[in-house]
Structures are given as C-alpha cells and as structure tokens.
Chains A and B, each alone.
Chain A
Amino acid sequence: MKISNYIFLLIFLFIFACENEVKIDLIEVESKMVVEGWIEQGKGPKILLSMSAPYFADIDSSTLRQYAVTGAKVTVTSEDTSEVLTLKPNSSYFPPYYYYGTVIKGKLKQEYSIEIRYKGYIYTAITTIPDLVQTDSVWFDKANLSDTLGLIVVKFKDNPDVRNYYRTLTRRLGKDTKFIPTFTSVFSDESFNGETLEIPLSKGNSSLLDIENSRYFEVGDTIVLKFCSIDKQHYDFWNTIQGQIQTSANPFAISNTEIKSNIDYGLGIWGGYAASYDTIIAK
C-alpha cells in the first residue's frame, strides 16, 4: 500500500515542478559488515558478505573489490554440528561471491546460528526455520481490462495456534535468474489468524532500479511461487526493508525508519525459510 505516493502524485498534477542537481556534503561514516544469508529446509546455508559504502560512492567493477568481503571465516552451527562455509563466485548475486555449506541442511522447527570473523571483528546472528504452512492452491487471475496481464492468487490456511509470518517470492522461468520478492512480500497473520485466505500477489521488481516495471505477470509466463514461513526477526527485517523501498519514491514519508537487523554489530539478515513451491502457467 502506497497511499502517500498517490498524494504525492496529486501534488504534481497542479504545479509546475522543476528539478535541479544539488550539492550535498555527507558525513563520513565507518563502513559496516552487511550480511545477506539464508537457510531453507532441505538445503544448505548461503551467505553473501559485503561492506556498506558511502552514500555517493560510485559502484563499478574497479571499486567493487572494496565492498565485497571474500576473506571472512563463516561458521554455521545447529545443535551439535558446526560447519565452516566455503567461498564460491556467482555472478547472479551482488557481491558476486557466496559462502555455502554442504554438511548442515535446513530442518523445520530448528535453530541456526552463524559466526563471521573478519579483520578481527566477530559478527553473530541466530534464526529459526519455522513449521511449514502449505499452500492450498495457486492460480493466475487475469485483470478485467486486459487480455494479457494479471496477478497470481495464493490460497492457504493459516495456523490459528501461533503467530505466523510469511514471505512470498516468484520466479518466471526463462525470464528471472532467481526468486524475486512480490510487490508486498512480507505479511503477518494478525488480521486473518486461523483463516483460509486468498491473497493476490503482484509481481515485484528485480531491484529498486527497475521501478518502472509492470506489477503484472503476463499470459504465457511460467511462474514459480515460493511461499515461505519465517520467524519474527526475519519478518521484522524484511518488513522494515519493504517499508523503506516502498516509501523511497515518496518524499514526504518519514525517512530514516530504522532497519531491524538480526546481525549483532552488523547490518542485514540471517534468515530461515520454510518454503513450499508451486508452479503455474499464466493463461
């Protein structure tokens, strides 16, 4: 929901706005460790590490080396098992390397901790893979005024006994290289606890930078929906990120809402997913 953005549009209806580049001197701040790590049931952990950059830093192939963290020691621990992860290049991510493990596989209702040692600092985090919430069905729902566009709808039954947190991602086969969060990708069951619900999902943008992209799926797309249960901290993180991304186009939103990270002394997220997958063909 971006109501305030419509208000913002309203302003532009009636005034002659103009834009100029402006010079702003920003304060130098210390670079921080950024973690993007996840573990899913049946799969090994994957962790991307980078350092934060000054706001106006240009990121290109030559400065990239500064921000990618390739020399860290990353350890994942679950119950009595610990595993030191291995670094592997992968150009579909940013930074183009990830740390991965093969010994520890994600299990439902299990806790996982990480420890990252880098240049004398230690960063830690804990996450849980919650119990799985199965989808009932998924279908393509064509828009009323269009022959080619539509949304997907997911039907599922919420567990009434616990507070559930969800995250939804989609991948169009042949079009997307990885799963992309839907337009509103995290939600909790606070407003529908225990009910069977049908939720329409809009296509998300692969990054903030292609904001002009349509929020619709197209007829002919083969869409894989990744429907995940996540824990509270994991939800809080994506919820605050989603808030920032959605209000980034609105100049009147209260900015500097704090991103709720679960990384001690760092930024980012270490999150567990209990995921179920459904594949549909849009028609």
Chain B
Amino acid sequence: MKRFIHILLLVITSTSYCQSSGILSGKVTDSLTGEPLIGATIQINNTTSGTITNEMGFYQIQLKYGPSQLKVSYIGYTQQIIEITIPDIKKLDIPLVLSPVQADEVVVTVDNPKENVEGIGIGNVELSMKEIKKLPALMGETDFLRIIQLSPGVQSANDANMGFYVRGGGADQNLILLDNVPVYNPSHILGFFSVFNSDVIRSTKLIKSGMPANYGGRISSIIDITSRDGDFEEFHSQGSVGLLLSKLTIQGPFVKNKVSFLLSMRKSYIDEVMKPIANSMFDISSTFYGNTKYSFLDINGKFSFRLSPKHNLSFTAYNGKDDFSLIKLEPDFSNSMNWGNQLYSLNWNYHVNADWNIQSTLGYTKYNFGLDASQKNVFISMKSAVNDYIFRTEVSKAGYNGQIIKFGAEHYFHKFTPNNLDASTNGQELAFGSNRNLNAHESSLFYNHEINLGTRFRLNLGARYTYYMHVGSYYKIIKNEIGEIADSIYYEPGEIVESYQSPEPRISARYQVNGLSSIKASYTLNKQYIHMVSSSAVTLPTDVWLPSTSLIKPQWGQQYTVGYYRNFMDNSYETSISLYYKDYYNQIELLKGIISNFQDNIFEESATFGRGYSFGAELFVQKSVGNFTGWVGYTLSATYRKFKEINQGKIYPAKYDRRNDLNVVVSYDLNKKWNASATFILASGNALSLPSYLYILEGNVISGYSERNSFRMPLYHRMDLSLTYLARKTEKFESSFNLSVYNVYNRANPFYIYFEITGNVYDYNLKITPKQVSIFPILPSITWNFRF
C-alpha cells in the first residue's frame, strides 16, 4: 500500500510540473480572533471559477502563471480584493475584517455547491436552517429530523415516528450528537416532533457512509448538530406562535464580545387544543379525554465565552420532558408515564496557532423513562434509563496542500438501567430480580488523515481502536443443563465482567475527473457496543438500551460505497449517483416482548442474534443557488435479516425494507416577500407479518403466522405545501407567517393494519375484515415567526 502511494505521488507530481499554472493555498481567518472561516469564497475576479475554504478554513486554487486578482468574501465580513502573481506567491493567509453591518444571524451553513464534487464526503447531507424554515412543516413546527428523512437513503418508520433507518441500518445505529454529546431519544409524543428546537440549531450534518474515524460508536450514521452561540454584540429575541406549540429564544451578551448567552424554551399545549376538537369529532366518552393529560417541554441554554483569541469555551444544556397521564379510565385505575433527555456539554476550543486546533468536550447525557400504574392495591412502577459520561478530545492539524490530520481519544462511561421493575400486590412486594444497572467503559483512540495526492486525488485514511469493558456490579447467572439457575457470580463495582476490543479501518477516496465531476469510493468498518431492544414494531419511549455483556456481543457492520458526482450549469445543479452494500453482524432481536411478560426480565435470555444485509442505489439532484432551489432523491434498495431462531432460519425482508423511495423538495422565492415550497414523497410499503390462518381455542380466535414480513403495506405517497410571507424585515424587527398544508390531497396512508373480528364463534357467524388505520389527513396550520 505504501509503495503504491509512493508511485502514485511520483506520477502525480511529475505531471504537475508540466503545467503552466501554479497552486495557491492558504487559510482565511477572522482578523480579530484568528478563527478559521469555513466556507469563505475565493473567486478569481471577473470569472465564475473559484473555491471555498474547507472545515479548517483552508483553500487551494489553481491559477495561471502571471498576475491574478482574487475576490475573497464571507457573509458578515468585508470583501477583500487581492492581487497576486503566480508562481511568486504560493502560500497566502487572508484575514477578513468583520463587517460593520450586523450579520444576518440566521445564516448558518453556507451552501457550497462545489463540495459535492470536490469534497471527499460520500453520502453526506448538510442542511441549512434558513432553507429548512421555508419548507412545509407538520403543524407549523419546523423539524430538521423530518427534513433529513427526505434525503436519499434515509427513511422514517411511519408517519408518527422519529425513529429512522439509514441505508437499512436499525434505528439504534444512528448517533445523534448535540454539541458532541449523544441524544438517545430524539422524539416527543412518540415522534410527531423531534426534541430539537430549530431556533437553537446552527448547523446539522448527516454522514451515512465513509464515516471518518473521529466519529464512532454506531454502525449506520451520524447526525452531528451544532447549536448556536448567543450574540456577542446585541440582545435579540425570536420565537414563534403555532397551533400546538410556541417557543421563545432570547440571546445576547453578558459581557460584550466576551460572554454571550442563548436561552430557549418550547412548550406544547396540545391537549388544550386537541381535546375539544377530538371530543366533537369522535364518539369516545368525554371522561376519557377529560382525564388524560399530555404535554412536553424543551429548555435549551448555551453560554459562550471568548476567553482570548485562542481560547473559546461554551456550555450547552438541554432538558426535555414528556408527561402523559391517564386517570380513572376505569374505577381505581391510573397510569402515568414520563420520559425525557437531559444533556450537558462543555466544549473548550483551543486554537493553538494557524495550523493546530484542539477541541475537548466534557459531557453528560441521560434518557429516562418512567411508568406508574395502579389498580386498587396493585402497583407497578417501571423505570429505565441511560446515563453516559463522556470525555473527548480531538486535535486537528491543517497542513498545506489541503492536508487535515485529526486524532484524539474518546471515553464513554455507560450506566444503563434496562428496566427497574417494582410491583406489589396488597402490600406484598414481588421480587423481580431486575433492579440492576449495567455499567460499561468504552474507550477509543482515533486517527484520521486527509491528504491530496496531486490535484485530482484526495484520500482519507483513518482508523479507530476501541477497548470496551462491561464492569460490575453485576450478578452473572450460571445455568445448568436444563436451564435452571444453578449459581451466580458477583462482580464488585468496577470489576471487569467481560471485555472486547477491536480496530475499525475507515478509508475513502475521491478522484476528480475534471472541475465538474468526480468519483468517490469508501470502505468503513464500524463497531457498536450498545444495543436498543424494542418491544414493538416502532420506536417507542419504552425501548430499552443495553450495553454489550458476555451474552450480548458487540454488533458491527461494513459498508462499501462508490459514487459518481457531477455538477452542471456552472455548479448550480449538483447531482450524484451512489451504490452501497452493507452487511451487519450480531444484530439483536427479542423473541418475547419486554412488557408483555414481566416474568422473563433477563433480556439477554430472550434475545437472539443474527445478520443483516442491505444494498441499494441512490440518485440525487440538488439545486441550492438561485430563487428556485430544492432536490430530488430516489433510492432503490433492499434490506434483509437472517436469524437462526426467526422464520425457521430463512432470510426475510427487514420491517423497513423499502424497494422504492422518491423524495422531491422544491422551494421558490417569488419575490422578496413571498416564498412557496413543496415536498412530495412516494415510497413502497413497509414489510409486515400478517396472520395466514386461524384457529379457535376457548372461544378465542388465535392467529397463526407463516413467513416473516411476507406482506407489504400499500404504497405511501403524500404532498405538503407551504407559503411563507415575510411581513416585515428591518434591522431591528422581523416578522413572517408560514402557512403549511400537510398531506394536501388527503391521501389515507396506512399507519397500521389490523383485523376487525365481528360475530361470535358460538353463534357460528365469525367474520374477519382487514382494516387500515391512517393518521394525518389534510392538516393546514399557520405559524407566526418573529425576531427582534
């Protein structure tokens, strides 16, 4: 391999000597803080060719011999015109001065059409909040997780679900990071809304293949979310008032140019709005609604400190909560559930000098679910929780010729409580033996090297090495031949019960055919040491996370990708076609439900392990500049599972196997005041298992099943529209209205299928009819957004 690279270098360097042009490279920075400016434009004056700085603020541009004029610009900064002569100058750092006019603070990720061809990222999706806010929103609430599900290779489970599947991977194989700290359950109300308030998000990035080595711990994808810093100059407020929820964000400086804050709160008033509507629409007893309460709340805070030009510190806090209660549905009966995430992240960024940067994170994240149910003298309470303590440090070094080296270390201490169950009947405690925590350490080292080999080749070589330990306290149960508990071994807190270690190679490469097209390929191997076991066919708050133990082996997967990227019409159209093949090992499935049977609460024993396969092709066309923007994504794919103990060991389609998936997103600026946008989805139905025969026992109809997931839901399609009107925009005040219509032509998409049984066995008139339940008919909504 090394020799191959040498030869390659020789070939490339020798060819470049023959050219009558030279390469200019350097870094664009903030003149005051020295902070690299990502996505700054360097344009050869009076031409359309140019380049954009990379994530370290570096640029590289090919210029003809002789004098050239460069226009360097970045939003919020004063534009600079620079005259240089090639080959006299080969290296040039360009500091830009902050523009005296206040920058439009919503501007986030600068669209960079050239990244499609020039970047090494294969199958990455970056979203700018400004664009997302124009798109149709369910009940008027902009949700980037819903938008991400409109990109190729990503699919949602169904209408009301934030659980999503990336290229056939499970819902637990996506790592969602908020300021470098994972969020375990991203959904409110079972997935109608995500926990991410769009007003506090600066940028989001989805990586579905070619995952660099600085990311790890999950097999299928990374969603990296960065929250916004508060304004260091002035105070601002912004917010929105919608039909079901409202939110308010305030931000500003504590100490001008030194310390800023951003506080945001979002609260739902769903039950107040929906109860009267539901009561008038449905024939369900009003007491049912009267005794039901549901609400959610999100609080985000961020404090940012510019300690010195070299040191930046920020502290992010998030707290979200869902509460649901149902009282007196029947005499003496009550039930309440609550769940939520808590997250803290302290990030310290140290710009050592123009080339070196060190970012360190200290974080804590928690997801907990609690349920209390009682009926007269029987009480049941169930709790499950995930606690992660995180330390992470990442050193990056930028070198000339576009090199980026990243290395670092990451440590997670997982403290999982799979299900703490307490139950009593008439004062007598029942012993469930499940009141235990499962603790584990996950330590990783990573190294990632991105390098240009000549002008056309860019290579990213990386590796990750993880050492994982399941530690006490823990009772390891030893069983005899007939499956009875014979003995148990106790492990002291911190004592190693089981350990795993392994390297994860990551390789990706780009070959630039010309200025407008490139070919990219990648191979990655990912290990995942934690698992989510689901009691149901969709992700619910009751889903339980488990770390690897001696019975649950780490899951892992490999992905091979190749893609062709081509830009058209002066980079205004970006297109790509990519092919992937993935295989997964040690995938977990429960043979019994978590809740349906409390008496088997040692999950490891009801778990079974198997393999998964998925492959597909993705087509993507995007236009991100001009009045008319949007994308079309099409995915053709297949996903299978194979478990020894399921479907008699035969291969079967995964529940989220989806043959065809088409997404269209368009947005058009009619003028400065009006924007119209639309989204359209067309997808094959999900696979599901349905009974194929029945029999009668004790008067009950018992369903018999044959092949797993051998049925298909009907086709899913839906169109959403939205119209945004910018009522007023001045430097001090901005006000806009968004009218969204969800499911414009009122398609009844299947949410689930069930069987209605009528008649009676004993009267000999039994009849079974399949029924489809749909949610979300045509739903118009209006939201007022403001900022001052």
Contacts and interface: CB of A to CB of B under 8 A. Distances in A.
B244 to A, nearest CB: 8
Interface stretch (A39-47, A58-66, A101-109, A273-281): A58-66
A244 B764 contact: no
- Of A10, A53, A163, A214, most B-chain CB atoms within 10 Å: A10
B425 A239 contact: no
A21 B425 CA distance: 42
- Of A22, A95, A145, A255, most B-chain CB atoms within 10 Å: A22
A173 B361 CA distance: 70
Contacts of A206: 699
Nearest to B536: A252
A32 B764 contact: no
B164 to A, nearest CB: 16
B376 A200 contact: yes
A15 B192 CA distance: 10
B428 interface: yes
B426 A200 contact: yes
B757 A13 contact: no
Contacts of B540: 4, 7, 252
Interface residues of A, number: 93
B595 A10 contact: no
Contacts of A32: 693, 695, 704
B294 interface: yes
Given A14-B270, A192-B431, A56 B768 contact: yes
A239 B600 CA distance: 12
Nearest to A199: B425
A244 B692 contact: no
A251 B695 contact: no
Given A34-B695, A145-B331, A27 B537 contact: no
Contacts of B541: 7
Contacts of A198: 425-426, 428
Contact of B689 (A192, A246, A256): A256
A95 B762 CA distance: 9
Interface stretch (A80-88, A130-138, A183-191): A183-191
A245 interface: yes
Given A15-B775, A20-B772, A192-B431, A26 B690 contact: yes
Interface in A230-283: 239, 241, 243-248, 250-259, 267-269
Contacts of B776: 15-16
B457 to A, nearest CB: 48
B761 A207 contact: yes
Given A14-B294, A15-B776, A243-B592, A53 B694 contact: yes
Contacts of B694: 52-55, 57
A241 B705 contact: no
Contacts of B593: 4, 243, 247, 253-254, 257
Interface in A180-210: 181, 187-188, 190-192, 195, 197-200, 202, 206-209
B380 A1 contact: yes
Interface stretch (A70-78, A113-121, A146-154, A219-227): A146-154
Contacts of B294: 10, 13-14
Interface residues of B, number: 105
A224 to B, nearest CB: 17
Interface string B689-715: 111111111111111111110110010
Given A3-B373, A198-B426, A18 B774 contact: yes
Interface string B415-432: 000000001011010111
Interface in B374-390: 375-378, 380, 382
Interface in B659-702: 689-702
Interface in A5-41: 6-7, 9-11, 13-24, 26-27, 29, 31-32, 34, 36
Contacts of A95: 696
Contacts of B597: 239, 243
Nearest to A163: B484
A29 B599 contact: no
Interface stretch (B111-119, B322-330, B505-513): B322-330
Given A26-B692, A187-B599, A55 B592 contact: no
B271 interface: yes
A197 to B, nearest CB: 6
Contact of A141 (B330, B376, B598, B695): B376
Contacts of B692: 26-27, 29, 54-55
A191 to B, nearest CB: 4
Contacts of A7: 190, 337, 540-542
A123 interface: no
Interface string B563-606: 00000000000000000000000000011110111110000000
A145 B425 CA distance: 19
Given A3-B371, A200-B377, A268-B697, A13 B292 contact: yes
Given A53-B695, A254-B593, A257-B593, A4 B535 contact: yes
Given A31-B693, A50-B695, A253-B593, A151 B768 contact: no
Interface stretch (B224-232, B461-469, B721-729, B747-755): B747-755
B259 interface: no
B766 interface: yes
A17 B426 contact: no
B335 interface: yes
A46 B426 CA distance: 37
A268 B695 CA distance: 9
B596 A29 contact: no
Contacts of A243: 592-593, 596-597
A52 B192 CA distance: 41
B764 A59 contact: yes
Contacts of B759: 59, 209
Contacts of B326: 6, 9
Contacts of B754: 251
Nearest to A251: B752
A19 B750 CA distance: 9
B770 interface: yes
A1 B764 contact: no
Interface string B322-351: 001010101110010100000000000000
A157 interface: no
Nearest to B710: A27
Nearest to A256: B705
A255 B705 contact: yes
Contacts of A10: 189-190, 294, 324
B769 A64 contact: no
Nearest to A245: B700
Given A54-B693, A209-B757, A209-B760, A244 B702 contact: yes
A221 to B, nearest CB: 16
A42 B445 CA distance: 71
Contacts of A36: 697-698
B160 interface: yes
A122 interface: no
Given A1-B596, A27-B707, A253-B596, A60 B765 contact: yes
A14 B596 contact: no
Give the top 10 A-B pairs by smallest Cβ distance, nearest first: A207-B699, A256-B705, A252-B536, A251-B752, A22-B772, A59-B766, A143-B331, A198-B426, A34-B695, A52-B695
Interface of A: 1, 3-4, 6-7, 9-11, 13-24, 26-27, 29, 31-32, 34, 36, 50-61, 64, 91-92, 94-95, 141, 143-146, 149, 151, 153, 163, 181, 187-188, 190-192, 195, 197-200, 202, 206-209, 214-216, 239, 241, 243-248, 250-259, 267-269
18 contacts: A6-B335, A7-B190, A10-B189, A14-B294, A27-B707, A32-B693, A53-B694, A55-B693, A145-B331, A188-B599, A209-B699, A209-B761, A214-B330, A244-B703, A251-B754, A252-B536, A268-B695, A268-B697
Given A14-B189, A255-B705, 12 more contacts: A9-B326, A10-B294, A14-B294, A22-B770, A27-B692, A34-B697, A191-B598, A198-B428, A200-B378, A207-B700, A216-B331, A251-B537
